Structure 1
Amino acid sequence: MAMSGPSGGPGGRRRGRGGRRAPMADINVTPLVDVMLVLLIIFMITAPLLASAVPIDLPESRAKPVETEEQEPVQLSINGDDTIYIGDQVVPEAELPARLDAIARANEGRDKPRQIMLRADKTLDYGRVMRIMGELNRAGLTRIALVTTGSEDAPAAVTAGSDSGQ
C-alpha cells in the first residue's frame, strides 16, 4: 500500500484549489516594535523640556536655539516673585553663592564647564538678573544660556545709529 506525501493523494493533506488554508496564528511584532521605538525617541526628546517644574513667564526672542550637549545643564530659575530655584529646589539668596561654588567645584577636572540655563521671568528688573549673572561669574560658571520662548513675531532688536525716519 503506497501513501503519497503532503501534496495530495490518499492520506495526505490537500492544499490546492478548493482546499481550505489554515489561519495564520503568528503575530507580526515588527510594526509594534517600530512604533514603540518611535514613541520612546519622542519621549526622550521631550522629557528634558518638560523637566522644568518652576512656572516662569519667559520673554520672547527671535534667537536660534542653542545646541544641547551630552552633559545635563544646571537649571537656575528666578520666578516673578523673586524666588530663586536651582533645579526645582528653592534656594534662599543668602545660600546662592555657596550653592554656586559647590556646582563650580563639581566641574573641576572636566574639559568643559557645565552649562547653566538661566530662566528669568520677563517682569523682573534687569539689574536683578545681572546680579545673579554676576554671582555665576564670580563662582567661575561662565557658560550661561539665557532661556526664552521662541517667537517669529517678537520685536527685532533696534540697531545703534538707526535712522528715525528724518
Structure 2
Amino acid sequence: MGASLQPRGGGPGRRRRQPMSEINVTPMVDVMLVLLVIFMVTAPLLVTGVDVELPRASSPSLDQDNTALTVTVQGDGRVFLNQTEVTLDALAARMDAITGANPEARVYVRGDEGVAYGRVMAAMGSLYDAGYRRVALITRPPSGAGDTGAAQ
C-alpha cells in the first residue's frame, strides 16, 4: 500500500479546470434560423382574401377601420362576407349575427370591375334594407406615373 505525496487536485501535468465564462450561442442561432424559415413560409399564407379586380377612382381615401366588415362581389357574381361566401338573401342575417344587429357598423363593399353594376347595387341594397347606413365602396387609386400594371 502506497500513499501519494502529490497535492490533491492533480500532478505537475494537470491543470485545474476554470469555469467557462462564454456562452455557446450556436444552438440559439440554429433555433432562430429555423423560426425565421417557418415565418417566411407562413407569412404569405396569413394574408388571405377574396381576389377581385377593383375599379379605379380618384376619390379621397377613408380612415382605416380594423373592425369594419367587407362585402365582396366577385366577377362571377358570387357574394362574400369577409372571406365566407353568402347569398344575398342571407347577407343581412349574417351581418346581424356578426355585428349584434348594430346599424352603426362600418361596411366596405368591394366589387370586381367586371361584375354587373346591378349585382353590386343589390348587395348594397340588401345592406341598406337591413339598416346598415355606414357603407362605403372600395376602389383602387387612379393609375399614375409609377403604375406599371396597366397594359399598353
Question: Partners of 2:57 and 2:77 in 1: how far apart?
Answer: 22
Specify the alignment match of 1:29 in structure 2.
Answer: 28
Unaligned runs of 5+ in 1: 16-23, 155-166
Question: Partners of 1:105 and 1:127 in 2: how far apart?
Answer: 26
The one-letter code matched in structure 2 to 1:83 is: R
How far is the alpha carbon of 1:52 from its aligned partner?
1.7
Question: Partners of 2:130 and 2:124 in 1: how far apart?
Answer: 10
How far is the alpha carbon of 1:75 from its aligned partner?
3.2
Question: Partners of 1:132 and 1:152 in 2: how far apart?
Answer: 27
How far is the alpha carbon of 1:3 from its aligned partner?
5.5
Specify the alignment match of 2:77 in structure 1.
Answer: 82
Question: Partners of 1:84 and 1:141 in 2: how far apart?
Answer: 17
How far is the alpha carbon of 1:78 from its aligned partner?
1.6
CA contact (8 A) 1:116 1:144 kept: yes
> In the superposition, relative to structure 1, how do residues 139 and 14 fare at CA in structure 2: closer, same or farther (>3 Å)?
closer
**Identity over aligned pairs, percent:** 21
Q: Matched residue of 1:119: which SS? A: strand
Specify the alignment match of 2:14 in structure 1.
Answer: 11
The one-letter code matched in structure 2 to 1:134 is: G
Q: Does 1:59 align with 2:62?
A: no
> In the superposition, relative to structure 1, how do residues 109 and 29 fare at CA in structure 2: closer, same or farther (>3 Å)?
farther
CA contact (8 A) 1:4 1:10 kept: no
For normalisation by structure 1, the TM-score amounts to 0.52
How far is the alpha carbon of 1:100 from its aligned partner?
0.9
Deviation readout 1:119-165 (Å, 9 max, x if unpaired): 111134445433422221221223334233345529xxxxxxxxxxx
How far is the alpha carbon of 1:12 from its aligned partner?
0.8
How many residue pairs were aligned? 132
CA contact (8 A) 2:70 2:110 kept: yes
Decide which of 124, 127, 130 is 1:139's aligned counterpart: 130
Specify the alignment match of 2:111 in structure 1.
Answer: 120
Q: Matched residue of 1:100: which SS? A: helix
The one-letter code matched in structure 1 to 2:32 is: L
Specify the alignment match of 1:2 in structure 2.
Answer: 7
Question: Partners of 2:99 and 2:135 in 1: how far apart?
Answer: 14
CA RMSD, aligned part only? Answer: 4.3
Question: Partners of 1:13 and 1:32 in 2: how far apart?
Answer: 35
Q: Matched residue of 2:120: which SS? A: helix
Unaligned runs of 5+ in 2: 1-5, 146-152
